[in-house]
Chains A and B, each alone.
Chain A
Amino acid sequence: MLRISGLTKTFGSVRALDDVSLDVPAGQIVGIIGRSGAGKSTMLRLINRLNEPTAGSVVYEGTDVTALRGRDLRAWRARCAMIFQQFNLVDRLDVMTNVLLGRANHVSPALAMLKLWSAQDRAMAMTALEMFDMGRLAAQRAGTLSGGQQQRVAICRALVQEPDLILADEPVASLDPRNTRLVMDALRTINREFGITVLVNLHSLDLARHYCDRLVGLAAGRLVFDGPPVALTDAVSRELYGLEADEVTDADPAADPRVTPLPARRSAGAH
């Protein structure tokens, strides 16, 4: 169980995250939705401790994560793997080494430096890669892969960390529809097969509705919605997205948001 209480982060005079409290039981896929700047990324970065909260706490299974330092902090980061919009792989290293970096926290630093990974670690990396049809790309340089492939490598890297949680920050925002589906399916697979809790930031309400057990809506840093996808009414989406709501929600979830009728677009422009 991940318990977030009163979590607040200010950058100068801006309250990026404002007194957010949330309980996430193990095994859920939680979609965090809201417009750009609503505090979605800030929340994930605070959980992984990439940023320090201004106030509030994150408690995981009784341990106050916000108080961890040094080795314990690194161990915590290894337990809640992060997936980024821009993949954040080491482009010049091969896929295999990128995935094995996920094991770095589990083996002795000297062995990791010399790239002397055990056969068991290699087997884990290959198992993860094969799960997403990436086995044959293991020896390729990460920088030469397509965006969707790179994101799946990033998911494999997260997976071999054997994390309890995966925090995915806009994992599909730079991907085309087909790769979007592959990557979201991959997240669902690791949730179902390994029981890993997934917190995923999403722009698209349709994706969030389709893949998540539970949705959490942020607006201007505050929590404004928390419930199952069916509870997300038009009124709530309007509160989340303001005038843009017509653009991101649609009667037909399969509809492409780019073909929204013109009037809505004009009102968004005026805003």
Chain B
Amino acid sequence: MTARVAEGPLGRQARQRRAELEGRYPEIFSPPLLSRAIVLALLGAALALFLFGFWQLGFSFGRMWRGLGRLGDFIPLMFPPNPETWARTEMYLWSLAETMAIAFLGTVGAAILAFPLSLFAAKTVVRSWVLRWPTRRLFNSVSGVDTLIWALIWINVVGLGPFAGVLAVMTSDIGALGRLFSEALEAADRKAVDGVTSTGGGPVSRVRFGIIPQVLPVMASQVLYFFESNTRSATIIGIVGAGGIGAHLSEQIRILEWQQVSFLVILILVTVAAIDWVSGKLRFAIMGRAPAGAAA
């Protein structure tokens, strides 16, 4: 059963009336070439900008190629990965636990603080801009600064160590999570809210019963995703002295102990992969239980 070539009655009618229809709907029949040309021109301009950027920053295949040679020199030095002593292994594992703790406490703390704030930032919850505007600006400004910068700031405020790390993760994520939460709140379906309002519910019940049940799975999933990605950034902030395994990593790279470095890298990779896997499963389970609307 292949596509038919024979023309149906509609096709015949259309053929007869084509000239007349073209006269009456010129914009339908001659597709706007100008707008297509503009799209093409914009794409071309973007490509040109991309190439210009590479050229300006001195991108060179030659340097990359020679660099690859050097990479080849020290990769053999990384094998076999070896922490040398059990005492060191224990120390690394302890730092790894510290890194995960920073990610966990930072993410959960950020979520706890971002949740009430996000209510003020959502148009559907707080109508007046007097509260909404400053909350949004707060979210934008704190998340505009990277976790690493926050780590440097907090080290100076509370001193070196994991506490600064937790604060750094928390501050930058309050902004990001707050924005995501308030967007989820605004995207929630209004129908449920109308239903609650129709029963005589006040503003608090509207939010509590009309909106929150819809967005909770979305928020939980976002928090899990942030935990995943914070496990990685908590490694980085260790390098500047905010606790965790990053400090060891940068130290071992500095003193060219490649076997130690590869052991640390493998440790981090395994942990991140494990967390990815678990949180992926959890997120899927949470989203799966709330089908359709909630996912939007």
Contacts and interface: CB of A to CB of B under 8 A. Distances in A.
Interface of A: 63, 68, 71-72, 75-76, 78-79, 96, 105-106, 115-116, 119-120, 122-124, 126-128, 130, 135, 138-139, 159-160, 162, 193-195
A123 B3 contact: no
Given A119-B29, A126-B28, A127-B21, A63 B1 contact: yes
A63 B4 CA distance: 15
Given A120-B14, A120-B15, 14 more contacts: A72-B1, A79-B1, A96-B28, A105-B3, A115-B31, A119-B18, A122-B28, A122-B29, A127-B10, A130-B21, A139-B27, A162-B4, A194-B9, A195-B9
B229 to A, nearest CB: 30
Nearest to A136: B25
Contacts of B3: 75, 78, 105-106
Given A75-B3, A139-B28, A194 B18 contact: no
B17 A127 contact: yes
A119 B1 contact: no
A126 B14 CA distance: 8
B60 interface: no
A124 B10 CA distance: 7
Chain A, interface SS category: helix
Contact of A159 (B1, B4, B10): B10
Contacts of A96: 28
Contacts of A63: 1
Nearest to A72: B1
Contact of B14 (A79, A105, A124, A194): A124
Contacts of B2: 71-72, 75
Interface string B20-33: 01101101110100
A158 to B, nearest CB: 11
B153 to A, nearest CB: 43
B210 to A, nearest CB: 23
**Most chain A CB inside 10 Å of its own CB: which residue of B8, B10, B14:** B10
25 contacts: A63-B1, A75-B1, A78-B3, A106-B3, A115-B31, A119-B29, A120-B14, A120-B15, A120-B18, A122-B21, A122-B29, A123-B14, A123-B17, A123-B21, A123-B22, A124-B11, A124-B14, A127-B14, A128-B10, A135-B25, A138-B28, A162-B4, A162-B8, A194-B8, A194-B9
B29 A127 contact: no
A68 B18 contact: no
Interface in B1-56: 1-4, 8-11, 13-15, 17-18, 21-22, 24-25, 27-29, 31
Interface string B230-254: 0000000000000000000000000
A115 to B, nearest CB: 8
A160 B7 CA distance: 11
Contacts, number: 64
Contacts of A127: 10, 13-14, 17, 21
A116 B33 CA distance: 11
B280 to A, nearest CB: 28
Nearest to A156: B10
Contacts of A78: 3
Contacts of A128: 10
Nearest to B15: A120
Contacts of B21: 122-123, 126-127, 130
Contacts of A160: 10
List 3 tightest A-B contacts by C-beta distance, closest first. Answer: A162-B8, A123-B14, A124-B14
Nearest to B19: A123
Interface string B202-232: 0000000000000000000000000000000
B38 to A, nearest CB: 15
A120 B1 CA distance: 24
Contacts of A75: 1-3
Contact of B18 (A72, A79, A123, A193): A123
B1 A68 contact: yes
Contacts of B1: 63, 68, 72, 75-76, 79
A119 B30 CA distance: 9
Interface string B100-114: 000000000000000
Contacts of A116: 31
